[in-house]
Amino acid sequence: MNARIPNEILNPLLLGDLRSTCYQCDRCLDENVIGTNMSDCELIPCPNYACNFVATRSSTTSIGQCNSGWHFNSGCPPSTEPAQVDMTLMYYIRSKTVVIYQMEATCLSDNCNNFTTFKQLKDAITVDPDLSCLINDASSSTTSGPITTTLGSSAEQILMNRKLFILIIFSIYITIKY
């Protein structure tokens, strides 16, 4: 299973030549990251020539305690880091839905750690291969109640729920080499 962001998107967003500043920001963003105005954020010098951000999906246990959407925190990393993206996401096979829970990125150009960069990275994620082949068609009925399945010639039976829920959790770490 691969989750990926195309190089055509990664390279222009994360690579560059940082000469002066990055955004320092700690804000709540809406679910779809519609707001891209960084005027409430401070521009700060970054002596390590890299900017970073961490965006975490808001929940009652998340650090930012945003009502919904994302908690976005950005600044300068304490040491020089390569351009990279690290994320934690869930892929729901039946609905082919990707849910990002956290994305961290380091970028190497002036002011690249902004809401727009996060939105473009988030929107560009694809997951493959299609794992719907792992879903048993007999278990895809929407009728409630158990199915009884006999194993071999044994009289032992197993009760299974008709609604099969397969969940895959994985982390992705992408390092850009140039």
Q: 11 vs 17, 96, 177, 178, CA distance in Å?
A: 12, 27, 9, 9
How far from chain centre, in Å, is Cα 51?
Answer: 18
pTM summary value: 0.71
pLDDT at 115: 94
Nearest to 91 by CA among 171, 162, 6: 171
Q: What percent of the chain has pLDDT over 90?
A: 37
Task: Over range 68-82, report the average pLDDT.
Answer: 90
* Residue 89 β-bridge partners: 100, 170
At residue 140, does pLDDT exceed 80? Answer: no
Task: Over range 59-84, report the average pLDDT.
Answer: 80
Strand, helix or coil for residue 147: strand
Where in the chain are the domains?
A: 2-127+167-175
Between β-strands 84-92 and 146-150, what pairing exists: parallel, antiparallel or unpaired?
unpaired
Instruction: Supply the DSSP symbol for 29.
Output: E
pLDDT at 91: 79
pLDDT at 162: 27
Higher-scoring residue by pLDDT: 134, 148:
134
Average pLDDT, the chain: 74
Q: 125 vs 7, 92, 99, 105, 120, CA distance in Å?
A: 11, 14, 10, 14, 9
Measured distance CA(42)–CA(24) in Å, rounded = 5
At 60, is the pLDDT very low, low, confident or very high (cuts 50, 70, 90)? low
Please state the three-class secondary structure of 46-95 as a single string.
Answer: CCCCCEEEEEEECCCCCCCCCCCCEEEEEECCCCCCCCEEEEEEEEECCC
